[in-house]
Structure 1
Amino acid sequence: MPADLAVIGLGQLGLPLARAAVAAGIPTLGYESGDPAPLAPADLRRMLSKGFLPTDDPAGLGRVRTAVICAPTPRGADGGLDLGQVTAAARVLAARMRPHTTVILESPVHPGTTEGHLRAVLEEGSGLRAGRDFHLAYSPSRVDPGNRDHGPANTPKVIGGLTPACTESAAAFYGRITDRVVRARGLREAETVQLLETNFRHVNIALVNEMAVLCHDLGVDLWDVIRCAETKPFGFQAFRPGPGVGGHGVPQDLSGHRVRPLRMVELAQQVNQQMPRYVVQRAATLLNEHGKSARGARVLLLGVTYKPDHADQQGTPAREIAVRLMELGATVSYHDPLVPSWSVLDRPVPRADSLYEAAAAADLTILLQPHRTYDLQGLSVKAQLLLDTQGVTPTGAAHRL
């Protein structure tokens, strides 16, 4: 069965799209020039049986009706988004693209990138003209790994095209996957939706992280404050503090893009980047209050991924926390059911085989990510000293952030 869709880039963004497409009955070619994101064998077999074809051969890209570019755009050395992998994907596609193809970009980019950069690469490599010979659109990815309530089918998809016809062509494709398609006015509007959604998350996390520090200084139970505040049926959305902000959605302040930077986003980045340091500070204080020094202390880190129940370590604050603890002279070990081995500064960190034995032996246990498999009640009983950075342990069972 010939593929109808090509997903270019089988990473954090592309793999969920490919999975959703084949589940909707769309034969899908998954192109990845490097190593794809890890996929459980059973999940891969299920996708293959429904028409999924993973490949590193770009020849098939010229035989699909729709191509979605999901290449990563990591933060570059200058702090901006690195478009290198998007550009490479576009060149591979352009060399094989046929007329009437619908090309959609889902990678996080600054407003204006799809028209100002991607369009030029595609037109130069294909000899075709966007809006006349092929459709060009942008759709912000709304992937939330591990979310059991919201997946591609019930998460509305925003579409913005170079022309109205481009928008409708992209909308027709996504309408086969999701229950609702939302049409933006154009490319820049769709790109800016992604900008707003990502920055909304970081700014609100920064606010509640600052509240965590303030409430600790005041002797106020922030977790109870949030519990009460979230009963307000309007004008409030609950966010919770944590040891830092990880994940693939990096905040964007548009510095260096000939526009006024978003000062609130800059400040939010500063606040969130301080949280690993604050966790270590709290850890050292707790040890001191219990007659122990951070130097020589045995510290166990629980959950070193960037979010619960998900193996991805992109941007995890656990790494910086481990480094800072080691700099204080602590002996650091970890436990994570999803991470069989872990290294910091190119040095392997010892992995605890028995969670409760390790917690009982450690001078301090720091809960970073509350994976579903953790028995928090049992953990709070076994641990000598427990710092809960997520506020999930039973009230009074641990020291909370």
Structure 2
Amino acid sequence: MGEKLVVVGQGYVGLPLAMRAVAAGFDVVGVDVDERRVKRLNAAESYVEDVGDGALAAAHRSGRYVVGADYGAAEGFDVCVITVPTPLRDGVPDLRHIAAAGEAVAPLLRRGAAVVLESTTYPGTTEEYLLPLLEEGSGLRAPEDFHLGYSPERIDPGNGHWRLENTPKVVSGIDAASLERIRAFYARLVDQVVPVSSPQVAELCKLLENTFRHVNIALVNELSIFAQQLGIDVWEAIDAASTKPFGYMRFTPGPGVGGHCLPIDPSYLSWKVKRSLGHNFQFVELANDINRHMPDQVVRRLGLALNRSRKPVNGSRVLALGLAYKKNAGDCRESPAIDVVRGLRKLGADVRAADPHVDSFLLPPGVEVVAFSERELAEADAVVVLTDHDCFDYALVQRASAFVLDTRNRCRGPNVERL
């Protein structure tokens, strides 16, 4: 038998990790508390865009992948990786899922086993929060009896180039032996492992990566508002700036930030700084404020455009193209596009939405889901491009629509206004 790996959480982070580990020869036990997910996984039906149904079926056929909603098959594991969500609740980090995973894993710990946390969180979580849970529930002590560390996930759902195996993996441990154990584990799964000196460094690394993106997106979002008011094409300016081969990285405006990371992770860092040091992390808080209000800005711009045509938002038909939080993905939870739709609905607009990637049951009530078609484009008083899926024909969008508010820079024409 191969080494037994338990992956707690079978979402966009845990499922690709499980599949990669199966391919590397591990006996993998996937655990997910969502029984609907477990049912789909056992039917070889993937809900994660980076894992195809075929890969899932092959993992089942290998006999080295089992999945369940409990920890019945997890006993005797060699390595356990925790990839559960870490949301915010009332602006405060919500570690309930980590606590539940830690409490469930602890009684199964045995000497020499390793536990790795991958969930994004504030510096200190691994050693100050998870470690006591594991020790109390197992009766063992780390690092004497078991290994513990942190490795931030770097999954970019839908990215066909940068996948788990070719993205450098930052790893850490609570001591040298833990670090080596965890380094050796990930070296079997990825091309490059990057060891750092402590879990707190690794935890901060992840927050730095996403905070960097968050504040730069906020910069161009605010710039797009002022550029429009000044009568300057911000997209042309961005294209021109992008020709500089050094000292510049391209970021583009949009209807806000969404997904599992950007709206949340920087707030973990801000919360930690405030709680530990008593200071406000002003960059993060300003970026939060700007990005949080971008959906309102899109609604305002659409209202002004309709007003120029002597049409109120109330009663106008608006076709929203794309509701997922990112291009070519299917998850619309934490999506700014959903906030735009809610804002338009609140003002009385008749909103219809086209997004073949998104399950309709995730959408707000009162939003009619339609197929992308020339007829839907032509019958709308306004079309708003919110998520620029490649499946949409943008030449048709420009040609068939009376007016287009394009928040993603995919359309051109006299009837198109770009964010």
Name the TM-score, length of structure 2 as normaliser. Answer: 0.91
Partner of 1:138 in structure 2? 150
Q: Is the 8 A contact 2:116 2:149 kept in 1?
A: yes
Q: 2:172 corresponds to which residue?
A: 160
- Residue pairs, 1:203-222, within 5 angstroms: 203-222=215-234
Q: 1:333-388 CA deviation, whole Å, 9 max, x = no partner? A: 1111112415655x241111342211110000101001111111111111111110
- In the TM superposition, 1:92-111 aligns within 5 A as 92-111=104-123
Q: Give the aligned partner of residue 12 of structure 2.
A: 12
- Bigger shift: residues 92-101 or 389-398: 389-398
CA deviations 1:139-158 (Å, max 9, x no partner) are 11101000011011111000
Deviates more, 1:47-56 or 1:360-369: 47-56
Please give the alpha-carbon distance, in whole angstroms, between the structure 1 residues aligned to 2:184 and 2:12. Answer: 24
* Structure 1 position 341 matched with structure 2 position 341: no
Instruction: Determine if the alignment matches structure 1 residue 353 to structure 2 residue 371.
Output: yes
Give, in whole Å, the separation in 2 of the partners of 1:142 and 1:314. 19
- Work out which of the residue numbers 363, 368, 379 in structure 1 matches 2:386: 368
Range 334-343 or range 318-327, more displaced: 334-343
- SS of 1:271's equivalent? helix
Higher mean displacement: 119-128 or 51-60: 51-60
**312-321 vs 253-262, which moves further:** 253-262
Structure-2 change in CA distance of 1:396 and 1:106 (3 Å): farther
Q: Is the 8 A contact 1:335 1:355 kept in 2?
A: no
Distance change (3 Å), C-alpha of 1:56 and 1:344? closer
Say whether the 8 Å CA contact 1:342–1:349 is kept in structure 2. Answer: no
Mapping for residues 309-320 of structure 1, pairs under 5 Å: 309-320=328-339
CA distance in 2, matches of 1:291, 1:382: 20
Q: Please identify, of 31-40 and 306-315, the stretch whose mean Cα deviation from structure 2 is larger.
A: 31-40
Pairing 1:267-278 to 2, within 5 Å after superposition: 267-278=286-297
Comparing 352-361 with 115-124, which one deviates more in the overlay?
A: 352-361
CA change 1:341–1:233 in 2 (3 A) is: same
Aligned equivalents of 1:225, 1:286: Cα separation in 2: 23
Answer yes or no: is the 8 Å Cα contact 1:301–1:367 preserved in 2: yes
Compute the displacement of 1:3 (Å). 5.6
2:72 is equivalent to residue 63 of structure 1? no
Letter in 2 for 1:290: S
What residue number does 2:348 align with? Answer: 329
Residue 52 of structure 1 is aligned with which of 65, 88, 110?
65
Q: Which runs of 5+ in 1 are unaligned?
A: none
Q: Deviations over 1:104-148 (max 9, x none)?
A: 000011100100010000000011111111100001110100001
> In the alignment, does 2:23 pair up with 1:23?
yes
> Residue 244 of structure 2 aligns to a residue in which SS?
coil
The 8 Å contact of residues 380 and 386 in structure 1, kept in 2 or not, is answered as yes
With over 3 angstroms needed to count, the CA separation of the structure-2 counterparts of 1:299 and 1:264, relative to structure 1, is same
Aligned-partner residue type, residue 363 of structure 1: D
State the secondary structure of the residue aligned to 1:283: helix
**Is residue 377 of structure 1 aligned with residue 398 of structure 2?**
no
Letter in 2 for 1:15: L
Instruction: Name 2:43's counterpart in structure 1.
Output: none
Contact 1:304 1:336 in 2 (8 A): yes
CA distance in 2, matches of 1:397, 1:19: 47
Amino acid at match of 2:391: T
Instruction: Provide the rounded CA distance (Å) in 1 between the counterparts of 2:415 and 2:158.
Output: 27
Q: Which residue of 2 aligns with 1:258?
A: 276
Give the distance between the partners of 1:182 and 1:134, measured in 2 at CA.
Answer: 22
Letter in 2 for 1:153: E
Q: Check whether the contact 1:59–1:96 (CA below 8 A) recurs between aligned residues.
A: no
- 3-state DSSP of counterpart to 1:192: helix
Which SS does the other structure have where 2:253 is aligned? coil
RMSD (Å), alpha carbons: 1.7
| Counterparts of 1:370 and 1:240, CA distance in 2 | 13
User: Within 2, Cα distance between the matches of 1:73 and 1:340?
Assistant: 23
Within a 5 Å distance, the mapping from 1:143-292 to structure 2 comes to: 143-249=155-261, 250=264, 251-252=266-267, 253-254=270-271, 256-259=274-277, 260-292=279-311
Confirm whether residue 38 of structure 1 aligns to residue 47 of structure 2: yes
Return the offset for 1:212.
0.8
The alpha-carbon deviation at position 44 of structure 1 amounts to 2.1
Alignment partners' CA distance in 2, 1:281 and 1:71? 37
Aligned partner of residue 320 in structure 2, secondary structure = strand
1:82 matched residue in structure 2: 94
Asked if 2 retains the 8 angstrom alpha-carbon contact of 1:61 and 1:97, the reply is no
Identify the range of structure 1 (284-293 vs 20-29) with the bigger mean alpha-carbon deviation: 20-29
Counterpart-to-counterpart distance in 2, 1:312 and 1:400: 24
Q: Deviations over 1:80-126 (max 9, x none)?
A: 22100111001111011111111000001110010001000000001
TM-score of the superposed pair, with normalisation by structure 1: 0.95
Q: State the shift of 1:22 in Å.
A: 2.1
* Cα distance, 1:53 vs structure 2: 1.5
Alignment of 1:294 onto 2:310: no
Q: 2: distance between equivalents of 1:242 and 1:342?
A: 25
Contact 1:299 1:363 in 2 (8 A): yes
Which residue type is aligned with residue 370 of structure 2? Answer: A
SS of the aligned residue for 1:61 comes to: coil
Task: Give the length in aligned residue pairs.
Answer: 399
Residue 307 (1) aligns with residue 326 (2): yes
**3-state SS of the aligned residue for 1:153?**
coil
